[in-house]
Structure 1
Amino acid sequence: MKKQWWHDKVAYQIYPKSFKDTNGDGIGDLRGIINKLDYLKDLGIDIIWLSPVYCSPFVDQGYDISDYYNIDPRFGTMDDMDELLAEAKKRNMYIVMDLVVNHCSDQHEWFQKALKDPDGEYGQYFYIREGKGDQPPCNWRSYFGGSAWERIPGTNKYYLHLFAKEQPDLNWENEKVRQEIYKMVNWWLDKGLAGFRIDAIINIKKDLRFEDFPPDRDDGLCSPSKMLECADGIGTFLKELRDNTFRKYDAFTVAELFDYKEEELRNYIGEDGYFSTIFDFSTHLIGASEKGWFDRKPVTPNEYRDVIFRSKLKTENIGFLANIIENHDEPRGVSFYIPEGECNDKSKKMLATIHIMLKGIPFIYQGQEIGMTNNEFESIDEIDDIGTKNEYQVALKAGYSPKEALKIISKYSRDNARTPFHWDDSENAGFTTGKPWLVVNKNYKEINVKSQINDENSLLSYYKKLIRLRKDEEYKDAIVHGKFNPIYTEYDNVLAFYRKGESKTVLIIANYQNKEVTLPFSHQNSKVLINNYNNFKVDNGMIMLEPYQTLVLDV
């Protein structure tokens, strides 16, 4: 596999609205990010991905873009953006922005023109179809619930929106649309962006028959994933996008890619792939149900291990995956992957070790490095996320009480990851001097940067150690580029693997359970590189690990 400039980097996702507010309006801003660049540099971060800061009505937290060429005033100005790019460059850091081009906002000038003349030039920028009598063109469901079609007032025409009705899908079959997108992408790359995180990109290719599929819920609708299975030819669009934009700049691209065909994986992240990498969402799908969150099953350690190992072995000779525990679209990883009642400093460090030591480029989400957890929402009124509100209604319709439905959605809500960052134990966790746009997690006095930054045993310090090890010249070849070989797979709740480089072999062993385990061990003379306990026991060819004990060994 050809080595790339980004392979040995560590990335960090910032959700700007919740990171750091500097003007007291309760919303994070670009100035707050600039002020915290040294914190991120000290952590060991190289690449910073910013969730959308473009102009937007914020129906879907900025993923409904009304102007791709401007910064939303809530976040600052284009001068602030230019300063952020310059300050990051001084620190040898790279800025990556969200590229949201499956859809735009219904307030975008293109869509406003389309509404005025659905049959005109700008009507062709979107998917506008005649209804079937008084019904939508077909029974596709939006990802956020309800029909994926919305009637244009005063007509029997409908426009397609796979997400919210305020997010009309752009018609990638129209070459004018594609050229407008490429022009915008290059404009940002010319400004100094290092690349893009590419949102929901698999959705840009539709099944143009626009036909019904068998319903998968009582609402008579079907998931968009059914349509995507029948939508062939996305590679033509993605190759053209790459060749007209990213490739010319050697840009770093990481795609959000669900529902792709596994046999086409090399086309996405291989030597001549459409993208640098794609996020590995395999563990996030564990326990999911088509019925809704109310039917979701908790993650087990064996499932987590088996899914990760399958993913890594599948891509071993193809390309790098982007490894995540959490992001802005998921609940907090320590609350999702660690069994209820067992989330503590040791188990958090275990999860961190697995994340950073796996093959691929690690993406850390803001607050992950200090162990931020899910929030305990007291009312549905505290929820902002449109998808969570829909799942609340789904649970109610399934027969759950409002109290039960709130508990269900609190466990899986995206708002868990969007609560304001915990900088210290002062009011509003040091995020803002005003009223935060979203409720602050109640445990901010116990979990915050200030309480951890000078504590060498803290989770924050532990993340720094892991990142330093990943970048260490002596071990970089093994940890970044080395072969991935699982071990101890016959043991329940044990997650272990070798990373084998040309001159070094590193063994990672994690006891993923709340009890001791004893394993056969043949590396008595190994060197301890990382240990989330103060010691470990080896005796008569056996190694004994404490609950959630995790080791990184030079063997």
Structure 2
Amino acid sequence: MKKQWWHNKIAYQIYPKSFNDTNGDGIGDIRGIIEKLDYLKELGIDIIWISPIYKSPFVDQGYDISDYYSIAKAFGTMEEFEELLAKAKKRNMYIVMDLVINHCSNEHEWFQKALSEPDGEYAGYFYFEKGKNGNPPSNYRSYFGGSVWEPIEGTDKYYLHSFAKEQPDLNWNNPKLKKELFKMINWWLDKGLAGFRIDAIMNIKKNLDFPDYQVDGNDGLTSITKMIEESSGIGDMLQEMKHETFEKYDAFTVAEVFNMREDEVEDFIGDDGHFSTMFDFSAHSLTFGEHGWYDSKPIEFNSWRSAIFESQTRCQGIGFLANIIENHDEPRGICRYLPEYALNDAGVKMLGTTSVLLRGIPFIYQGQEIGMRNCHMQNIEEYNDIDTKNQYYSALKAGLSNEEALDVCYVNSRDNARTPMQWSMEKNAGFSEGNPWLKVNPNYLQINVEAQINDENSILKYYQKLISLRKSEEYGEVFIYGDFCPAYLDKDKVYAFYRKLNDKKILVAANFGQDDVALELEKENKEVLLSNMGRKSLPFGTTLTLKSCEVVVVLYLK
């Protein structure tokens, strides 16, 4: 592998609407990010990914962009964003923005012009298709439910939207549209942006015949993913984008990739791949229900461990994955991956350790470093997320009671990760002096930055130590470039692996079970590099007994 500037970096995702509000309007802002740069620097963060702050009607929380060149007023001004870039650069930190180019907002100028002239030039920027036999062009279901086709008033045509009807898909087969998108990407990179997180990118390639598929739900539709999975040729589109934009700036790119074929890993994240890295969604994929959240299954430990380990070994020697526990589209990781008995400080530290020390780029989501959890909502009105509401009503239609449907949302809702950042025990968790746009989790009185920042035993302090170890001069190369080797697969509820490079060998071993577990180590000569339970040394001999929720990082000495 060619060494890249971003290989030794730690990334942090900010959901700006919920991060830090400085003007009291209940919505986080750019000024709030600037205010917390030193906090992130002290944590050990290098790359900051900011979820969409572009001008938008916010039907899907900014993933419906109405102007790619403007900052939404709720977040601040372009001048403030440029100040953020400058102040991050002074701290040797990098800013990455979301790149949403599969679709835009129906309020975007391009789409408005297309609607005004359905046979004109701008209609070609989208998918305007005639129906078939009085029906939509095909029987696809959107990711948010309902048909992907929306009728265009006064015509016999429909437009395609993979997500909400307010998010029309952009037609990547149109050279003029691509030229506009590449121009926009370069405009941001010229400003000093370090790169992009690229949203829903696999959806840009369509089968233009739009064939029907066998129905897979009671609504008479089938998931659009079937068409996406069977469409070929996306690699050419992605390489063209890279050549016209990213590679000119040595930009860091992390892609949201679903539905990729197993033999395409090198094409996507190899030395000459389409992207710098891509998120590992193998664990998240285990939570998918056949029809929605209401029939999704809880995570089973062995399946979860196998999914992560298979991803790690598949990418070995090819490229780096972006490793996550949670993000803005998922519930809190500790509530998903830890059993009830492990929902404590030790369990949270254990889960963090097993993620950050994997091979790849660690991505930490805001609040993860203090152990933020899912938030119980009293009713569906307390939720904001469009997908959560759709899933709630799908659950009711499937026969679940109101209480059961709300429980499904508590387990799976994206709003779990979007509740305001918990900074202190002050009103609204110190997030805002105004009325927060989304409910603050009531547990902020116990879980907040202020309570943890000076407590040497806190989750926050542990994350600082964990990141420091990952980046250390002595062991950093092992954690960055060392091989990943699964260990103790025969041990139930043990999540363990080696990181090996040259003559250095480090064991990361965690006990996700409820009972103590004994592991036979390779030799006596060893040293503890990190422990979530204050273990300073290992007992004489080769037997290591891990308590429930204990994780240790062990260096084998020569």
- The answer to whether the superposition gives a TM-score over 0.5 is yes
**What is the TM-score normalised by the length of structure 1?**
0.99
Counterpart CA distance in 1 for 2:522 and 2:285 is 35
Q: Secondary structure at the match of 1:553?
A: strand
Is 1:551 the equivalent of 2:552? yes
Q: Which moved more, 1:336-345 or 1:173-182?
A: 336-345
1:96-121, CA deviations, whole angstroms, 9 ceiling, x for partnerless residues? 00000000000000000000111100
The answer to whether the 8 A contact 2:492-2:513 is kept is no
Counterpart CA distance in 1 for 2:153 and 2:402 is 34
Q: Which residue of 1 aligns with 2:214?
A: 214
Q: Secondary structure at the match of 1:443?
A: helix
Counterpart CA distance in 1 for 2:73 and 2:523 is 58
How do 1:382-393 residues align onto structure 2 when only pairs under 5 Å count? Answer: 382-393=382-393
Amino acid at match of 2:531: N
Q: Which residue of 2 aligns with 1:313?
A: 313
The answer to whether the 8 A contact 2:528-2:538 is kept is no
How far is 1:31 from its partner? 0.2
Q: Which residue of 2 aligns with 1:126?
A: 126
Q: Secondary structure at the match of 2:391?
A: helix
Is 1:434 the equivalent of 2:434? yes
Q: Which residue of 1 aligns with 2:145?
A: 145
Q: Which residue of 2 aligns with 1:34?
A: 34
Q: Which residue of 2 aligns with 1:516?
A: 516
Q: Secondary structure at the match of 1:59?
A: coil
How do 1:495-534 residues align onto structure 2 when only pairs under 5 Å count? Answer: 495-534=495-534
The answer to whether the 8 A contact 2:26-2:433 is kept is yes
Q: Which residue of 2 aligns with 1:243?
A: 243
How far is 1:480 from its partner? 0.7
Percent identity of equivalent pairs: 60
Give the total of aligned pairs: 555
Q: Which residue of 2 aligns with 1:60?
A: 60
Counterpart CA distance in 2 for 1:328 and 1:122 is 32
1:154-198, CA deviations, whole angstroms, 9 ceiling, x for partnerless residues? 222100000000000000000000000000000000000000000
Q: Which moved more, 1:396-405 or 1:533-542?
A: 533-542
The answer to whether the 8 A contact 1:52-1:98 is kept is yes
How do 1:88-237 residues align onto structure 2 when only pairs under 5 Å count? Answer: 88-237=88-237
1:433-461, CA deviations, whole angstroms, 9 ceiling, x for partnerless residues? 00000000110100000000000110000
Is 1:82 the equivalent of 2:82? yes
Counterpart CA distance in 2 for 1:537 and 1:8 is 29
Is 1:419 the equivalent of 2:419? yes
Counterpart CA distance in 2 for 1:179 and 1:413 is 36
The answer to whether the 8 A contact 1:537-1:544 is kept is no
Counterpart CA distance in 2 for 1:317 and 1:520 is 29
Counterpart CA distance in 1 for 2:124 and 2:10 is 41
Q: Which residue of 1 aligns with 2:47?
A: 47
How far is 1:537 from its partner? 6.0
Q: Secondary structure at the match of 1:444?
A: helix
Q: Secondary structure at the match of 1:486?
A: strand
How far is 1:341 from its partner? 4.4
Q: Secondary structure at the match of 1:485?
A: strand
**What is the TM-score normalised by the length of structure 2?**
0.98
Counterpart CA distance in 1 for 2:38 and 2:78 is 21
How far is 1:534 from its partner? 2.5
Q: Secondary structure at the match of 2:5?
A: coil
Counterpart CA distance in 2 for 1:12 and 1:539 is 39
Q: Which residue of 1 aligns with 2:456?
A: 456
Q: Which runs of 5+ in 1 are unaligned?
A: none
Amino acid at match of 1:362: P
The answer to whether the 8 A contact 2:341-2:514 is kept is no
Is 1:542 the equivalent of 2:543? yes
Counterpart CA distance in 1 for 2:481 and 2:218 is 48
Q: Which moved more, 1:115-124 or 1:521-530?
A: 521-530
CA change 1:210–1:256 in 2 (3 A) is same
Counterpart CA distance in 1 for 2:220 and 2:523 is 58
Is 1:257 the equivalent of 2:232? no
RMSD, matched Cα = 1.0
1:349-374, CA deviations, whole angstroms, 9 ceiling, x for partnerless residues? 11000111000000000000000000
Q: Secondary structure at the match of 1:196?
A: strand
The answer to whether the 8 A contact 1:538-1:544 is kept is no
1:240-280, CA deviations, whole angstroms, 9 ceiling, x for partnerless residues? 00000000000000000000111111100001000000000
Q: Which moved more, 1:393-402 or 1:366-375?
A: 393-402
Q: Which runs of 5+ in 2 are unaligned?
A: none
How far is 1:292 from its partner? 1.1
